[in-house]
Amino acid sequence: MLGLPVEAAPTALGLLRLAGASPMLLDPARVAAQLYPSESRLSSTERVVLHVVMLEEAGYLRTWVEEGTEWLQLLDATAPAAPHVTSTAFRDAFSAPLADPFSSAGEREKEREKRAGARERARAQAQAEERAWEARWADHAQRPASRPERPRLLNAPPIGCHEHPNGTSTPCGPCGTAAEYRRQWLAREKYVEQLAIFEETNGVDDDEPF
């Protein structure tokens, strides 16, 4: 099942279990009733029609019309059929004429037109997505690199006093005072940033008193 459209994979698995490698009569309404019995008939039939189009585009199956009847055959049906569904039983069930309106030639023609429309919509959607990604990458390639922001830590006061700007391992009162001042400066800068994010997130009015 590698390479299949993800959305159509459940229908592909269902068709594989129902038909295996044998040709089958393509009746989307009956296939939908077999694979998606809990969904409404209309929505499940439309899903099967669209999935068949996608699977045919992906090269997983082929469809053809023979004597006014549309058929389907999987092109990579290597897995066995489901234990509770035999190929003979499936062919017998799907070769029998239908008693409902979906078996008429007019309904089959409507189904073929619906599949053709679904194929065109799927192709247009894929082309639109491809153009969108091409435009996005072109915009990314043309966008000038932004100047990196200077880390706030580099703007902090020195670690030590004027005699030991990088600190010292020996006791030094002025260095201790400078280190404490540096910690207060960093804490204040961090608080200002957090407060700005809070006000932006919560929509705090600038005129609101503290």
Residue 6 pLDDT exceeds 70: yes
Say if residue 85 is in the same domain as residue 160.
no
Q: Does residue 146 belong to any structural domain of this protein?
A: no
Direct distance between the N- and C-terminal alpha carbons of the chain, in angstroms, rounded to an integer: 63
* Mean pLDDT to the nearest integer, 124-148: 77
Say if residue 100 is in the same domain as residue 43.
yes
Say if residue 38 is in the same domain as residue 92.
yes
Say if residue 122 is in the same domain as residue 194.
no
Q: Does residue 210 belong to any structural domain of this protein?
A: no
Number of domains in the chain: 2
Q: Final residue of a domain: which of 94, 109, 140?
A: 140
Q: In whole angstroms, how large is the CA radius of gyration of the chain? A: 34
What percent of the chain has a predicted confidence (pLDDT) above 70? 74
Q: Does residue 1 belong to any structural domain of this protein?
A: no
* SS3 readout for 80-139: CCCCCCCHHHHHHHHHCCCCCHHHCHHHHHHHHHHHHHHHHHHHHHHHHHHHHHHHHHHH
* CB < 8 Å & 24+ apart, contacts of 87-92: 87/19, 87/20, 87/22, 90/18, 90/19, 90/20, 90/22, 90/24, 91/22, 91/24
Q: What pLDDT digit, counting tens, does each position of 55-112 carry?
A: 888 888 889 888 878 898 988 654 433 333 334 444 444 444 433 434 455 666 676 7
Say if residue 117 is in the same domain as residue 167.
no
Query: With bands split at pLDDT 50, 70 and 90, how would you rate the model's confidence at 137?
Result: confident
Residue 193 pLDDT exceeds 50: yes
What range does the domain containing 64 cover? 6-140
Query: With bands split at pLDDT 50, 70 and 90, how would you rate the model's confidence at 163?
Result: confident
Query: With bands split at pLDDT 50, 70 and 90, how would you rate the model's confidence at 177?
Result: very high
Q: Does residue 147 belong to any structural domain of this protein?
A: no
Q: Final residue of a domain: which of 101, 117, 140?
A: 140
Task: Say which range, 84-93, 107-116, 148-157, 199-208, has the weakest mean pLDDT.
Answer: 84-93
Q: Give me 179's structure tokens.
A: 């280190």
Q: Give me 182's structure tokens.
A: 């540096």
Q: Does residue 208 belong to any structural domain of this protein?
A: no
* Mean pLDDT to the nearest integer, 24-44: 85
